[in-house]
Amino acid sequence: MGTRAWALLLVLCGTIFLEGIDVAMMAVAIPSIRSDLGLATGTAAWVMSAYVLGYAGFTLLGGRAADLLGRRRMFLTWLTVFLLFSGLGGFATEGWMLVVARFVTGVSAAFMTPAAMSLITTSYEEGPRRDKALLVFAGTAAGGFSLGLVVGGLLTELGWRWVFFAPVLLAGALLVAAVRLVPAQDAPPRVRRGFDLPGAVTAAGAMLLAAYAVVRLEHGVDGWPFTAAAALAALLLATVFVAVERRTAAPLVRLGILRSGSVVRADLGALLFVGAFFGFQFVVTLYLQELRGWSSLQTAIALVIMGCDAVLAPTLTPKLVARFGNTRVIVGGFVLAVVAYGLFLPVGMDWSYAAMFPTLIIAGTAFALAYGPLTIAATDGVAESEQGLASGLLHTATQFGSAIGISAVTAVYGLASTGSGSEDTLSAFRVALTVPVGMVALGLLISALSVRADRRAVRRASQVSSVSASQTSANPAQRSGGMASWK
């Protein structure tokens, strides 16, 4: 790729880095925010959950809006919104101000991130160049989160408001560069046929309610009627959404894309893989801080090795994909994840960092092998006019995956906690760790189906080629290119 192509890629990757570092810094800073503003436990939890609701609730709509309203327009507009509300969060003096700021920041990320990814898939032709760009994009996302843990710890020492102000500086630099580098695009022709407003409203409502139900899972049996009601309402709205999309002339989401087995398997795989990764990281963070008494900065430095995928994804993974193919590399990533999380199951009270290190380094390597190729598989073969939709589906899956992973391990930990002693707490941690192991094991089975599908496709193509060759050899006219008929 030329200099300008690399510059454009760095700007687009900068947004996913911004999103990752923002989430990680907030996770580290929330105890200080709670203490300084005197927030109740429920309010502090909503500061974190509001972002997830905004992101997961609007990612599907955001991805399709990039296709219908213009990728450059959506990217620049929502990057600006992200910048403004991140800055406003830094001036908050009440809990509700933080909740609103985080919700709008999550909504802006839901529009900005799929637009950035679809700009990559439409700016670089399908093949090695696009694969390389997407692997760099995936590695940057993970690197942002891992680095954000350390940066968040350092900034929190200066003052938690810097956790909001630092992303403003980065977003401002990206916005200036994006105005110059992101190419102008023609207005999508489908906009002239009208925008599917009923589909947009029902999709956003269903996603918001589903995300709310998932977030409430961590409360366990307490308040289960609200959780069940939200899940039921989400299901009803999703049913209405499907009915609307089947009847409208210009649907927000072409339902036929969900019949693509490769896309669905990639999205499910991403949901399970990311959910397991975040669930595992959440349990390990609690283990180190609550049970072992490590500081937030010590914990962040200990976990930063999991960010090795930021180096491996753009360097090692492309070579493996070129040699073995996407699906086999994805399977390899899931196998490593099963091994990594399984190794941590017998964790003890006095484990040294050396005992934890194999799990952490293998987990980071697994992310490098699986996440980037899953990103490629989720958009591979999709028409250019639906790249935003495919990106939105993928990011919706990853956001729901992270929410499900954290909520599930929290719920299981709560159910397994039978006492207040250290041994009881450690036992509950071990039970909770079975959740990420089960998620990646299920993801491994789904990925194995993709390998089987690839083999069937190759076998079918070989059979078609053989039949075509035999017909040509049996027909002299066809073999001579039709010259016999001219004679």
Query: CA 118 to CA 66: how far, in whole Å?
Result: 8
Structure confidence at residue 479 (pLDDT): 41
- For residues 280-304, average pLDDT: 84
Residue 419, burial from CB neighbour count under 10 angstroms (0-12, 13-18, 19+): exposed
- In this predicted model, what pLDDT tens digit does every residue of 312-325 receive, in sequence order? 888 888 889 889 88
Using the 8-state DSSP alphabet, how is residue 34 labeled? Answer: H
Query: CA 93 to CA 140: how far, in whole Å?
Result: 33
- In this predicted model, what pLDDT tens digit does every residue of 384-412 receive, in sequence order? 878 888 888 888 888 888 888 888 888 88
| CA-based torsion, 234, 195, 251, 372: positive or negative | negative
- Residues making up the chain, counted from first to last: 487
- For residues 25-47, average pLDDT: 81
- In this predicted model, what pLDDT tens digit does every residue of 232-272 receive, in sequence order? 998 999 899 889 888 887 787 788 887 777 888 999 999 99
Query: CA 137 to CA 242: how far, in whole Å?
Result: 32
Q: Is the pLDDT of residue 369 over 70?
A: yes
CB atoms within 10 A of CB 238: 17
Which amino acid, residue 355?
A: A
Angle (deg, nearest 10), helices 128-158 and 353-379? 140
Which residue's entry shows tokens 């993801």?
Answer: 443
Query: CA 43 to CA 189: how far, in whole Å?
Result: 44
Instruction: Check residue 294 and give left, alpha or beta (phi > 0: left; psi -120 to 50: alpha).
Output: beta
Dig out the tokens for 150 from the structure: 């350390």
